């Protein structure tokens, strides 16, 4: 998860077993979730263009307000990833 500025944070990838926001085994990699920090509500957002493969155990930070950097993690098979992705996040609903 990374802070995007204002009242927004972004979540990409990961894996959970309960009430999922995004689940790496079921959610397409071209989808992220935005958290409205004021209301505490999540919104799924479609990502256009080339997207990173699904992953868990990744690192994510803010590069500049509105942009997020994703590095590494593990793929669905548990293999380590060492790639780097930078994305600008816009308000496009999935």
Give the count of domains, the chain: 1
Tell whether 94 is covered by a domain.
Answer: no
Which residue reads 């803010």 in tokens? 62
Q: How far apart are CA 59 and CA 57, in angstroms?
A: 7
Residue 4 has pLDDT above 90, yes or no: no
Residue 84: which pLDDT band, with cuts at 50, 70 and 90? very high
- What is the overall mean pLDDT for the chain? 80
In a domain, 93, yes or no: no
What is the per-residue pLDDT for 46? 82
Domain that holds residue 78: 2-88
89 exposure class (CB count in 10 Å sphere: 0-12, 13-18, 19+): buried
In the structure, what pLDDT confidence band is assigned to residue 80 with cuts at 50, 70 and 90? very high
Can you tell me the distance from the alpha carbon of 48 to that of 91, in angstroms, rounded to the nearest whole number?
Answer: 12
Q: For residue 68, tell me if it sits in a domain.
A: yes
Q: How far apart are CA 19 and CA 21, in angstroms?
A: 7
Contact by Cβ (8 Å): 32, 88: no
The answer to whether residue 53 sits within a structural domain is yes
């Amino acid at each position: 998860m990374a802070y995007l500025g204002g009242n927004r944070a972004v979540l990409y990838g990961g894996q959970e077993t309960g009430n999922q926001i995004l689940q790496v085994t079921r959610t397409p990699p071209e989808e992220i979730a935005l958290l409205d920090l004021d209301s505490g509500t999540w919104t799924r957002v479609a990502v256009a263009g080339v997207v990173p493969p699904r992953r868990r155990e990744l690192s994510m930070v803010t590069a500049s307000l509105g942009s997020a950097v994703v590095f590494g993690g593990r793929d669905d098979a548990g293999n380590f990833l060492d790639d780097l992705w930078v994305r600008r996040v816009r308000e496009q609903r999935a």
